[in-house]
Structure 1
Amino acid sequence: MSSTEQPPSSREIIKTFRPDLQVYESLYKTIHLNPELSHQESQTAALIVDHLKHLSDEFEIRTNIGGHGLIAILKNEPGKTILLRADMDALPVAERTNLEYASHKRQLGADGKETPVMHACGHDFHVVCLLIAAETLLRARRYWSGTIVFLFQPAEEAGDGALGMVKDGLFDGNRHDCPVPDMVLGQHVAPIRAGIVASKAGPIMSSSDSLGVTIFGRGGHGSMPHRCIDPVVIASHIVVRLQTIVSRVVPPDEVAVITVGSIHAGEAENVICDRAFFTINIRTLSEEVRLLVLDHVRRTIEAECSAGFCEKPPQIEHHMSLPVTANAAPVDDRLRRVFQDYFAQEFIVAPKSSLASEDFSLLASSIGKPYYFWLFGGIDQQKWDSLAAVNKLDTVPINHSPNFAPAIHPTLQTGGDAMTIASLAFLQRLT
């Protein structure tokens, strides 16, 4: 571009260089048909590598980072470095969408048992939208300068994918030669009207803590409860009591959710078992409330076990912890203006935080860098409008549902454009 040439707008760049989306529709269907569970994403990773190599040999590709994670580095003269992230794992869900490209795949889960597998959270969209952005930015490299790291992350659903890549030396120059980014960007398809892009300053997704709890009782014959210590009764008291933490401990203007997702105890109706196991998931939007809830959960469990005369203290294991995903106000100010300018009325400020959780922010916080995360809609526009007209939006299939089936168009374009426009906000040449 000459010094006298007027640079095109971001809108013009995307319109000119956005690739043929029919190619990406086919790629999306292939990935949706072949989902892979967390830590098993080998075929998906190989497909991504093949596609990037077909696009250009300018991508510096590094594979097998923290499992099946990979990066593709695109350098284009001096400038800032940004990292764009897409997760690529699927869920142990049996698909019920009846789509022609519905998954019928089965895999062995972490427990060694065979399970159906489905892209029920939209990670297939994340992968393809990032590849759309990669091709757009590759073709438009005359109009931006800097370095872009396209990162495809495994095991988001397991909660350890981002941290696994970091621990495997993602940003260690001697290991994977990934440049440290100045900004990390990510997005997630959501059960909102297709074409919409939504974000907000502050918490946009909650923290998540998962606990496994074992209550130790004294087993025996069902006819002699006085000779036993029944862990089922004690666990039942704990489950009920935990709900009072939200209603009586957490301030009414704060947000917390406590869910007991599973309980396992006993095998026969005439046997009082000797132990009960249950799992707890905790969602909060601030670190102060998170620590308050975790403390009271522990106290409640220990107190009920003491009241039930357990002969052994409960075993409380912290299985997983994900931080709040919170957009810093200065970054939000900048990218909100960019999104509003490009998407116009299709961009909205998210009215509230989602209580879903993400490990995305760890890619940035692990190196002390800022990040930004947004949502983009996937629900067919006509379906959304018709359900809104009769106040039935609560029936829209949500992420992790076996019926979650985002519309391919315009979802692919929206996600691809959003990643591209956010990248240009930091890298576009102004002269």
Structure 2
Amino acid sequence: MMRTPLSTTAGPVAPLLVGLGERLPGLRALYEDLHAHPELSFQEFRTADIAAVRLREQGWEVTEGVGGTGVVGVLANGEGPVVLLRADMDGLPVRERTGLPYASTATGTDPDGNEVPVMHACGHDMHVACLLGATAQLAATRDRWRGTVVAVFQPAEEIGGAPAMIDDGFPDRFPRADICLGQHVAPTPVGFVGTRPGPVMAASDNLRVRLHGRGGHGSMPETTVDPVVLAAAIVMRLQTVVSREIAAAQTAVVTVGSLHAGTKENIIPDTAELMVNIRSTTPEVRERVLRAVKRIIHAEAAASGAPKEPEIVPFNTFPVTVNDHDATRAVQDALTAALGEGRVFTLPQPVTGSEDFGTFGTALHAPSVFWHFGGADPDLYRDIDPASVLEHGIPDTVPANHSPYFAPVPEPTLEIGVTTLLAAAAHWLTTPNGGA
């Protein structure tokens, strides 16, 4: 039987958590508001304004419009290390089906000009609420720590918004971090945390593929080169890349997430478009998969007699997210002290999802640590040993990130998310008497 998450915590972080219990109802109201009002990437105007207003009320020095809609808060509190804490803000073009009383009914306009439903299907609303809870605690307990904290509310994580903040002069405009810390809510049991030293999340390569055929009447396919059949052949053949060209001990994922062609059932179109996503955890596997995908696309086009070569355009590339070994061990120890033994796990392999968080550490030449904290209802994991999730994966009955049914339970996920941020930061933020 899964244990109930802790309601109290110990360790070096304890002085920073004084008063958190009284703050939690307001954080829940904030989380529900953010969940009900998601915004697409680089359109997080309302969310950014909420973050900026709250930071100023807490006493932070605030800069808005960094990298588009990004917000950066700086709280200098004497001599000591500089700690960067980051949360992402954007939602996804997903129609919410959770049935929650605060479910999103919002819509937005995507980059192609289409009106789409919008949902916080990846938990970024939870990230914003947790970081604002942590910043409030840090501001209220300044007599119990020393150093500088840089709170980053990042836009557009779903399409790689961190580089936009870096390109907007982030390394020179703000105190240079000694450590970068970030977290992501996961569909794992609430109260448990997973991370690992080294690669922790996969690289992601995205390809937009335009296939050229020769259109015509559906009754005379012999006069055409059908790009729909070509696209179908490519989709099926791409499934052999991982199963037949990547060793069983290596990790890669190839997904065709979008296929568009034609306007009417009896018209064979001139073109078709695919959008391909590739995940990998090493440079060698990444290059092998990319070569295989491009080879298959060109070969299938030639086999179909396509009149023109396919157009393959990369976009929104994410590097492997790599955790510093020593800093990760320190964070794991800090989280264990805060949450208790048996609640912080070392992931056996990198998560195949991708993140742009590592961009900050790379640009600042600073170590970084990224971890996942559970937000799933404990009832979904009744009689399941949390450790077995690492080996067997998430049950198919549990909605995962990007699902229209994904929604972390607010309590105690908010409390734990604030605690994990503060516990990790507390390892570096020195106390007035020189302790850590």
Question: 1:54 maps to which residue?
Answer: 57
For residues 284-303 of structure 1, what are the structure 2 equivalents within 5 Å?
Answer: 284-303=280-299
State the shift of 1:210 in Å. Answer: 0.9
Match for residue 24 of structure 2 among 14, 21, 32: 21
Task: Give the distance between the partners of 2:426 and 2:164, measured in 1 at CA.
Answer: 29
One-letter amino acid matched to 2:406: F
After superposition, the CA RMSD in angstroms is 2.0
- Structure 1 Cα separation of the partners of residues 349 and 200 of structure 2: 7
TM-score (norm 1): 0.91
Q: Is the CA contact (8 Å cut-off) linking 2:13 and 2:422 kept in structure 1?
A: no
Task: Provide the secondary structure at the position in 2 that maps to 1:257.
Answer: strand
User: Which structure 2 residues correspond to residues 4-403 of structure 1 after superposition, within 5 A?
Assistant: 9-18=11-20, 20-56=23-59, 59-157=60-158, 159-172=159-172, 177-344=173-340, 345-385=342-382, 393-403=395-405
Is there any run of 5+ residues in structure 2 with no aligned partner, and where?
A: 1-9, 387-391
Q: Give the Cα separation in 1 of the matches to 2:118 and 2:259.
A: 24
Amino acid in structure 2 at the alignment position of 1:131: L
Query: In the TM superposition, what whole-angstrom CA distance separates every residue of 1:18-61 from its partner, at most 9, and x where no partner exists?
Result: 352112111112211211111111111111111122222xx110
Percent identity, aligned pairs only, is 43
2: distance between equivalents of 1:298 and 1:211?
Answer: 10
- Separation in 2 of the partners of 1:294 and 1:197? 32
- More deviation, 355-364/104-113: 104-113
2:72 and 2:176 map into 1 onto residues whose CA distance is 12
**Can you list the C-alpha shifts for 1:350-405, whole angstroms capped at 9, x where unaligned?**
2432211111111111232211000111112234326779x993201111112112
Amino acid at match of 1:12: A
Alpha-carbon distance, 1:310 to partner: 2.0
Report the equivalent of 1:4.
none
- Using the TM superposition, give the Cα deviation of residue 267 of structure 1 relative to its aligned residue in structure 2, in angstroms: 2.6
Tell me which amino acid in the other structure corresponds to 1:411.
T
Distance 1:202 1:102, change over 3 A: same
Give a deviation string over 1:211-251, Cα, whole Å, max 9, x none. 11111122233344333222222222222221211112112
TM-score, normalised to structure 2, is 0.90
Give the number of aligned pairs: 416
1:413 counterpart residue number: 415
Instruction: Output the CA distance in 2 between the equivalents of 1:23 and 1:10.
Output: 25
| Secondary structure of 1:31 counterpart | helix
Whole-angstrom CA distance in 1 between matches of 2:265 and 2:116? 29
Q: Identify the range of structure 1 (180-189 vs 307-316) with the bigger mean alpha-carbon deviation.
A: 307-316
Say whether the 8 Å CA contact 2:13–2:426 is kept in structure 1.
no
Tell me, yes or no, if the aligned pair for 2:36 and 2:106 is still in contact at 8 Å: yes
| 8 Å Cα contact 2:84-2:150 kept in structure 1 | yes
The structural deviation recorded for 1:9 is: 4.7
Structure 1 pair 161–220 and aligned structure 2 pair: CA distance change class (3 A) = same
The match for 1:5 is none
Distance, in Å, in 1 between the alignment partners of 2:329 and 2:19 is: 27
- What one-letter code is carried by the residue in structure 1 that aligns with 2:38? P
Contact 1:387-1:393 within 8 A present in 2 as well: no
1-side partners of 2:100 and 2:194: how far apart? 27
What SS does structure 2 have at the residue aligned with 1:208? strand
Mean Cα deviation higher: 305-314 or 203-212 = 305-314
Unaligned runs of 5+ in 1: 1-7
Secondary structure at 1:20 match in 2: helix
